[in-house]
Amino acid sequence: MLRPLYLKENDAIALVAPAGKIDAGVIDNAVAQIRHWGFRAKVGDHATASYAGFAGTDEQRRSDLQAAIDDPDTAAILCARGGYGCSRIIDTIDFSPLLTSPKWLVGFSDITVLHARLQRIGLQSIHGAMPKTFPPAPGDDDSLRSLHEALTGALTGYSIPPQPLNHAGKARGILRGGNLSLLVNLAATPDDIVPNNTILFMEDTDEHTYALDRMMTNLHRSGKLRRVAGVVAGQFTMIKRDAIMPRQKDTCTLLSHYLKRLDVPVCYGFPAGHGEPNLSLYLGREAVLEVPDKDTANSPAQLYYV
């Protein structure tokens, strides 16, 4: 897949809000962070607009994202937050300029929809922190440091602490995925998951255990899980226990009910998603996942790019 150029000093980052509405103070803080990194910030015309729970009308959000895509001076597009809204505008965006002038798109959660479209057209992107989750003042916490490394090309991979439910193995494939709810929601659309030759990353937040089980059942029954090369399970935060599902020790146990059936490496507890830190991942890039055998319990799993 096409890889955009890494950012260098004084490159421009466009700030857009294609989903949920965002406070102006969050945008101001993001501008300060971008300048702290030595880049220029270009704020979308409607980035702080409000229409119900959205950052403006569908047309306003579409217009800002399209302008950032079309702008030859923009090197990266940073989405302000997730929430909901990308699915409403995805089919009205012309992504073709990115095929001749690739640029990074950054975000997570609802931005999974945009990542999926970019993978469909053959472009890499960054699953990473957004202004909504930035600290209240410019700095260099783990999430921001990881995002800066991804934007500038310094990110090569990660070591992940061992987890008892990990499944050993080694796989090579295209890293794809994002928010589990959105991945299931994309089923039967043009941006549906491509499972073959895929290392699947998934994360989620604020769901009931029965809803997570239903999503995993969908991936299992559709045959997608059986065709992936490996799985990286990220953060599952604010998960609500309920009386419908049998008692689960934790969310990883629920996921393992489906993932342990696969003859592929599975890594749990990757620090990306709606928790802290939210480390950046290159989606659409070929990666290797190595998960050691349980006999080497103190050895971390490895996820690195090739």
Alpha carbons 70 and 226: distance in angstroms, whole number = 39
**Which candidate in 46, 274, 280, 290 is catalytic?**
274
Q: Say if residue 295's pLDDT is above 70.
A: no
CATH code for position 199: 3.50.30.60
109 is catalytic: yes
Alpha helices, DSSP H, located in 95-237: 97-100, 112-121, 142-152, 180-185, 209-221
Other Cβ atoms closer than 10 A to 59: 12
pLDDT at 246 > cutoff 80: no
**Amino acid found at 281:** L
* Phi/psi at 3 (5° precision): -110, 120
221 and 127 in one domain? no
Give the total number of structural domains in the chain: 2
274 is catalytic: yes
| Contact assessment for residue 196 and residue 291, using Cβ atoms and an 8 Å cutoff | no
Mean confidence (pLDDT) of the chain: 96
pLDDT at 297 over 70: no
Question: Of these residues, 46, 63, 109, 146, which one is catalytic?
Answer: 109
Of the candidates 152, 172, 194, which is a domain's last residue?
152
Provide the residue range defining the domain that includes 294: 157-305
Q: CA 184 to CA 219: how far, in whole Å?
A: 7
Of 136, 152, 168, which residue sits at a domain end? 152
Structure confidence by residue, pLDDT tens digits, 198-234: 999 999 999 999 999 999 999 999 999 999 999 999 9
Residues 187 and 230 in one domain: yes
Residue 44 lies in a domain: yes
Domain stop point among 85, 119, 152 = 152
Domain CATH for 104: 3.40.50.10740
Q: Which of 203, 256, 280, 290 is catalytic?
A: 203
Rg (CA), the chain: 19
